[in-house]
Chain A
Amino acid sequence: MLILHCPYCGVYAEETELHAGGEAHLKRATIGDSDEAFEEYLFMRENKKGVHLERWRHANGCGKWFLCARDTATLEVYGTYPAQTTEPPADIVAAITAKHPGWSWKEKA
C-alpha cells in the first residue's frame, strides 16, 4: 500500500484516495518549437525502474495536484512537494542522493 503525504491538506493519504498523473516536471512545447520538441513533450516519458518523479492528485480529498519522488521498484517514498515547483527541491534531492549517490533527474538531458 502506497501512502503519500499531501502537502496541501497534510493528510497521509493512502493509494485509494489518490490518482496517479504520470511524469512530473514536463516542459510544455509551444508555438514555434521544433517537431522534436513537440515529440518529446507529447510522447517521450521516463519509464524508470528506480527513482521516479511523479504527479499525483489527492482526488478523494482536497483535490489538489502535488509531486512525489519515489522508487518504482521498492516503493520507497523520498518525499512529496507542491505542484507549483519547476524542479525537485533541495531536501528531496538530498533524500534521494543519500540512497543513490550521483543521482540526477533525466540524466539524458
Chain B
Amino acid sequence: MSNAVSALNGQEAKGDVTVRELGLTGMITLRGDFEDENFGAALSQITGAGVPDVRHFVQAGDFTVLWMSPDELLVILPYEKAAETVAAFDAALKGTHFLAVNVSDARALISISGDFANEVLAKLSPVDMSADRFTAGMVRRTRLAQVAAAFWMLPDGSYNLMCFRSVADYAFGLLSTSAKAGKVGAI
C-alpha cells in the first residue's frame, strides 16, 4: 500500500493571515432525507451530532457535520475513521434511500486564520463577509474565483475551506496571494 498524502502535504503561507492546508482529514458525503427519523437517528448515533440548520454546521467531539444542500451533508472526521464510519452508515441506513461516500482523498481542506481572514475570502467570493452577516457556525457553498468551494467560520474566528483536490494548488495560491496583498479595510 502506498502512503496516503493530502493534496498539498500541509503547505503553509504564514503572514498576518495564515493560509495552511490541513493535511489528511476524513470527509464523508452523506445524502438522504433529513426528515426521515432513521436518518436523524443514524446520524446522531454515529456522529453524536444532529442535522444542522440550513447553511450551518454542528460539532460533536471528533465529528463536524455541515449542511451542503437540502439533501446533502458533509461529515468531517479523523482520516483513519472514515472507512469504518461509512460502513456504520451503510449498516444503520440499510433499506432506506441514502448515500454515504468517503470523499477524503477527493477533496482538500485549507485553513485561513488571522485578523482579516474574512477579507481574504471576500476578495475571492461573491459573499457578504461582514462580521454581522457571516458569523461563526455558518457554512457557505460558493465559488472561489473560478472554482467551486465551500467555507465555514469556526468559533475562534478562523475559516476552513474545502475544494476539490485537483484545484487545491489553485485555491491555495489564490488565498495566499489575497492574504499577502493585505487588508483592504472595506468590511
A60, B142: Cβ atoms closer than 8 Å: yes
Q: Please, could you name 12 A-B residue pairs with CB atoms under 8 Å apart, sorted by A?
A: A8-B70, A9-B54, A9-B55, A9-B70, A11-B140, A13-B126, A14-B126, A16-B126, A17-B126, A61-B141, A62-B70, A64-B70
State whether the Cβ of B44 lies closer than 8 Å to any Cβ in chain A.
no
* Number of interchain pairs (Cβ within 8 Å): 33
Cα-based distance from A14 to B125 in the complex (angstroms): 11
Give chain B's interface secondary structure class.
strand
CB distance from A76 to the nearest CB of B (A): 21
Q: How large is the interface on B (under 10, 10 to 19, 20 to 34, 35 or more residues)?
A: 10 to 19
State whether the Cβ of A50 lies closer than 8 Å to any Cβ in chain B.
no
Binding site for A on B (CB under 8 A): 54-55, 68-70, 72, 126, 140-143, 148
Cα-based distance from A105 to B140 in the complex (angstroms): 35
Q: How large is the interface on A (under 10, 10 to 19, 20 to 34, 35 or more residues)?
A: 10 to 19
State whether the Cβ of A89 lies closer than 8 Å to any Cβ in chain B.
no
Closest to A13 in B: B126
